[in-house]
Amino acid sequence: MRSGVLVVLLLMGAVAPAHAVGSEPAGDLRLDPAPCVNAAAANDDDAVLAACGALIDNDKTAKNDRLQALLARARVFDRRNDIDRAIGDLDTVLRLDPRLADSFNARGELWRRKGDRPKALQDFAAALKLDPAHAAAKANFRSLALELERQGALMAVINKPSFNCAAARRPVEKAICATPELANLDREIAAANTRLIERAAATDARAARDLRHEQDDYLARRNAGFGRPGFDLPKAMRERLDHLLAIERQ
């Protein structure tokens, strides 16, 4: 080929110069974080999963961009109630930067929804260690601690009646102690009755006295009826509890 023609073809782009192959500088393999940021700002979940997912999967993504992408995707998983995947993204966030109190608190809330209270409490405590003034973590830690305390108290009395079984003498009391369902019913009846009496006593002493007499009458009927033909102890106890709860709702 004549040299003059080759020059024209090169200028026109029809022929590539021989040295072009493999000699051009490599392009920047990092992705633009703007689509992920914009999708998160617009709460466009599908766009977040696509754009932020691409950032997360790219080894060239800058650390801060990866963190923001993981947080955005975790929020999407949270909204979609995909708790395990949301926790997974926050696990990665906290491996990359274990100083993020907000992320510890967010993961704690997810653990709590999942039903793992010990892990939730641990994360709320970690958030407070990083930021003692973190309002959400403080509220979460306090409410969960109270919940665990109440749960512990409940476990201490579950399947136990309102009275001491070691001192039970009446056949009906022994039957209640021997049957978890009846023991729980007895405890709930006594608790509901106590609440009603305390509420009434604050404004009407006579009403409180009447409630005490009503409970005494119920216990007398229960004790006298037990063992007789046709007497249904579980039914009588459930009816008493339903009656008390109905008054309490008024």
Arithmetic mean of pLDDT over the chain:
87
User: How crowded is residue 124: how many other Cβ atoms within 10 Å of its Cβ?
Assistant: 29
pLDDT higher than 90, residue 135: yes
- The residue-averaged pLDDT of 40-68 equals 94
Question: 150: Cβ–Cβ under 8 A, 6 or more apart, which residues?
Answer: none
pLDDT of residue 2: 40
Overall residue count recorded for the chain in this entry: 250
pLDDT higher than 80, residue 20: no
Q: Is the overall model pTM greater than 0.85, yes or no?
A: no
pLDDT (tens digit per residue) in 101-134:
999 999 999 999 998 888 999 999 999 999 999 9
Q: How confident is the model at residue 30 (pLDDT cuts 50, 70, 90)?
A: low
Return d(Cα 237, Cα 250) in angstroms, integer.
21
pLDDT higher than 80, residue 11: no
- Give 193 or 147, the one with higher predicted confidence: 193
Residue 77 CA: distances (Å) to CA of 87, 89, 120, 178, 188: 9, 9, 18, 48, 40
Question: 126: Cβ–Cβ under 8 A, 6 or more apart, which residues?
Answer: 101, 104, 108
Return d(Cα 92, Cα 195) in angstroms, integer.
49
Exposed (0-12), middle (13-18) or buried (19+): which is 104, by Cβ within 10 Å? buried
pLDDT of residue 13: 38
Residue 213 CA: distances (Å) to CA of 29, 32, 155, 206, 238: 83, 77, 31, 11, 19
pLDDT (tens digit per residue) in 178-197:
999 999 999 999 999 999 99
pLDDT (tens digit per residue) in 55-110:
999 999 999 999 999 999 999 999 999 999 999 999 999 999 999 999 999 999 99
- The residue-averaged pLDDT of 198-206 equals 93
Return d(Cα 183, Cα 174) in angstroms, integer.
10
pLDDT of residue 154: 66
Sign of CA dihedral 127, 131, 132, 134: negative
pLDDT of residue 148: 80
pLDDT higher than 80, residue 41: yes
Contact present, 77 and 86 (Cβ < 8 Å):
yes
pLDDT higher than 70, residue 18: no
For residue 40, give the DSSP letter. Answer: H
Give start and end residues of each alpha helix (H) in 13-134.
34-41, 45-57, 63-79, 83-96, 101-114, 117-130
Placement of tokens 């009755």 in the chain = 193
User: How crowded is residue 27: how many other Cβ atoms within 10 Å of its Cβ?
Assistant: 6
pLDDT (tens digit per residue) in 155-185:
777 889 999 999 999 999 999 999 999 999 9
